[in-house]
Amino acid sequence: MATLKNDRYIKALLREPVDMTPVWMMRQAGRYLPEYKATRAEAGDFMSLCRNADLACEVTLQPLRRYDLDAAILFSDILTIPDAMGLGLSFGVGEGPKFAHPIETKTAVENLPIPDPEVELQYVMNAVRTIRRELNGEVPLIGFSGSPWTLATYMVEGGSSKAFTKIKKMMYSDPKVLHQLLDKLAYSVSLYLNAQIKAGAQSVMIFDTWGGVLGHREYLDFSLQYMHKIVDNLIRENEGNKVPVTLFTKGGGLWLEAIADTGCDAIGLDWTVNLADAKARVGHKVALQGNMDPSVLYAPAERIEQEVKQILADFGKGSGHVFNLGHGIHQDVPENSPHIFVEAIHQYSQPYHK
């Protein structure tokens, strides 16, 4: 049985008692750290960094050397699966992702291969194994994937989008083709996350970054249904320990009850949701992760501490809360702000766990 020196994060996800509220930050390994920029420059480009297990391990561990975080998250990208499907992923300097071969037809969907996680995506598993070894049981390692809907948006749009017109056109004019694509992606994500768990990830998270752009029924049909399929197919116990799964839909506050009904262990929340309300709606079923606006980290120390205290008070007593930002940390926050944030959570959360 794998033992962790600090298992606060896993315990909180399983709603077991903890001594203080655990914290990690979305995108904690990344561009706000000068040492990350140096490692990325050494790698040459973003995907080369992802594909080099030692360098991916290095950037995963960098924030843990600076801040007293309760979990590490695999350094990778949500678009690894579409890339492995042969869509020709590239990242221009200062630009978002682009696909050379976007999905435009039924035939393109039918021809998409299902990537083997230990072949086409072996570099990710190598990174997981390397990070897990180097962590040496200090804190748990989080694995992750993009949600089928979110991956599909990039694959159909050919990159980032503001209006999502191409994928919504497919959704309303040719829903069968989109369902076929989402089904393939759900299967691929299940294989991918299970391979991460076998390689050593102790918890997994599904990022549904663009679920919030959907209408009510469309979210349930085109996004949540497929995340539910993945949850049903995941390995939930490994090395004698439970492997918790967190679902995070940005802009998903309308659907908390439905998300909780998937059988996930925790729901990630963005900053538009009040934690007390969320807990009242689903608290008996799942843990909650979140949900400070990342922009608070631009504020002076007292303001950061005030926000931390307010969010802790909103959740109230007991376990089942993993403190996090409501989305990824911004790349230009002051270097000391995450330190103030993390220390405040550990300090001010202790009375809630007595």
**CA-wise closest residue to 85 among 167, 156, 142:** 156
Q: State yes or no: 77 annotated in a binding site.
A: yes
Cβ-based neighbours of 65, under 8 Å, separated by 6 or more: none
Residue 211 CA: distances (Å) to CA of 172, 220, 255? 16, 9, 10
Answer yes or no: 31 catalytic: yes
Q: Which of 27, 66, 129, 281 is catalytic?
A: 27
Q: State yes or no: 283 annotated in a binding site.
A: no
Residue 343: Cβ-neighbour burial (10 angstroms; 0-12, 13-18, 19+): middle
Answer yes or no: 27 catalytic: yes
Answer yes or no: 303 catalytic: no
Answer yes or no: 217 catalytic: no
In angstroms, the first-to-last Cα distance of the chain is 28
How many Å apart are CA 186 and CA 190, to the nearest integer?
A: 6
Q: State yes or no: 133 annotated in a binding site.
A: no
Q: State yes or no: 236 annotated in a binding site.
A: no
Q: State yes or no: 187 annotated in a binding site.
A: no
Answer yes or no: 65 catalytic: no
How many Å apart are CA 298 and CA 310, to the nearest integer?
A: 17
Q: Which of 40, 66, 129, 281 is catalytic?
A: 40
Q: State yes or no: 280 annotated in a binding site.
A: no
Cβ-based neighbours of 9, under 8 Å, separated by 6 or more: 22, 24, 70, 71, 139, 140, 203, 322
Q: State yes or no: 2 annotated in a binding site.
A: no
The encoded tokens of residue 264 equal 């996930």
Q: State yes or no: 29 annotated in a binding site.
A: yes
Residue 16, phi-psi category: left (phi > 0), alpha (psi -120 to 50), beta (remainder): beta
Q: Which helix (DSSP H) or strand (DSSP E) does residue 2 occupy?
A: none
Q: Which of 9, 36, 67, 154 is catalytic?
A: 154
Q: Which helix (DSSP H) or strand (DSSP E) does residue 291 occupy?
A: strand 287-292
Q: Which of 15, 32, 54, 77 is catalytic?
A: 77
What residue type is assigned to position 194 of the chain?
N
The encoded tokens of residue 173 equal 């004019």
Alpha-carbon Rg of the chain, whole angstroms? 19
Q: Which of 31, 66, 129, 281 is catalytic?
A: 31
Q: State yes or no: 31 annotated in a binding site.
A: yes
**CA-wise closest residue to 12 among 277, 303, 290:** 290
List, by residue number, the catalytic residues: 27, 31, 40, 77, 154
Binding residue numbers for substrate: 27-31, 77, 154, 209, 327
- Pick out the residues of the known binding site: 27-31, 77, 154, 209, 327
